[in-house]
Amino acid sequence: MFGVSFDVKAGEVVTLLGRNGTGRSTTIKCLFGLLPAKSGSIAFGGKPLQGLPSHSIARLGLGLVPEGRQVFPNLTVEENLVATARVGPRHGDAGLQEWTLARVYMLFPSLERRRRNLGSQLSGGEQQMLAIGRALMTNPKLLVLDEATEGLAPLIRAEIWAALAELKREGLSQIVIDKNVGALLKFADRHFVMEKGRVVWQGSSTQLRAEPEIVQQYLGVS
């Protein structure tokens, strides 16, 4: 990683784009203290994050939906959701509601229907919804999704994108990693394109649409 620099404003959705191996997931791991940053600075809400354990970073208001979902296979859907639930920094903020089981079930009705099923009994799409719901139950100020819809069926992907768009309308800041550029262009505010551990382009959705050569060169899709 070489001088990766980006920011997220309140209520904004930004993306980290790039092919596999360009440093997107490594950046997220550094953000959450899962990998040490060798230099530079990482801050959230004006508070430095370097050196903090992951659980302390989460308490500051960061919620992670990890690559591979990583739900607890031997817990039920409802047990997964309440296992890490807490009243977080968003509680009591003007215009923001606390995340509860009822709100997660409203966002993803299929989880309510499957609430007594084990995590291992869910489909891949249901596991991703559960991973998002579990992160929301920590009441984050910033939601980070690593490979938001990878490997999911088109209908499930559409449901995930609709949910993330709803979260944006509610004012939740997000960092999204995904390969579906078309979907990201519809609701993300800014994009940071990475190549070989560097940010090589940044701009708005309007700017990225106007530069299809950037998409072709660095993302390998048309």
Look at residue 29 and tell me whether its pLDDT is greater than 60. yes
- Please determine, for residue 91, whether its predicted confidence score (pLDDT) is greater than 60: no
Residue 171 covered by a domain: yes
Residue 1 binned pLDDT confidence (cut-offs 50, 70, 90) = low
Inside any domain, residue 3? no
Is 44 within a domain?
no
Query: Contact 140/63 with Cβ under 8 angstroms?
Result: yes
What phi and psi, each to the nearest 5 degrees, are found at residue 176?
-125, 130
In a domain, 43, yes or no: no
Structure tokens at 219: 């993302």
- Domain that residue 127 falls in: 13-38+49-219
Average pLDDT over residues 174-202: 95
Q: Note whether residue 167 is domain-resident.
A: yes
What separation, in Å, do the N-terminal and C-terminal C-alpha atoms of the chain show? 27
Q: Name 133's Cβ contacts closer than 8 Å, sequence gap at least 6.
A: 80, 81, 104, 107, 108, 111
- Number of domains within the chain: 1
pLDDT of residue 95: 55
- Can you tell me the distance from the alpha carbon of 152 to that of 125, in angstroms, rounded to the nearest whole number? 6
Residue-level pLDDT at 88 = 55
Beta strands in 62-197 (DSSP E): 62-65, 142-146, 173-177, 190-195
Question: What is the 8-class DSSP label of residue 189?
Answer: S
pLDDT of residue 96: 63
- In a domain, residue 213? The reply is yes
- pLDDT at position 82: 96
Token couple for 1: 């990683």
Whether the Cβ atoms of residue 33 and residue 49 lie closer than 8 Å to each other: yes
Helix (H) or strand (E) holding 217: helix 212-219
Tens digits of per-residue pLDDT, 92-101? 454 568 999 9
- The CATH number that applies at residue 112 is 3.40.50.300
Handedness of CA 31, 161, 212, 191 (dihedral sign): negative
Model pTM above 0.85: yes
Q: Is residue 156 part of a domain?
A: yes
Q: Is residue 1 part of a domain?
A: no
Which tokens in the block code for residue 221? 């899709």
pLDDT digits (tens, 9 = 90+) for 103-114: 999 999 999 999
Looking at the chain, which runs of residues are DSSP E strands? 13-17, 43-44, 47-48, 62-65, 142-146, 173-177, 190-195, 198-204
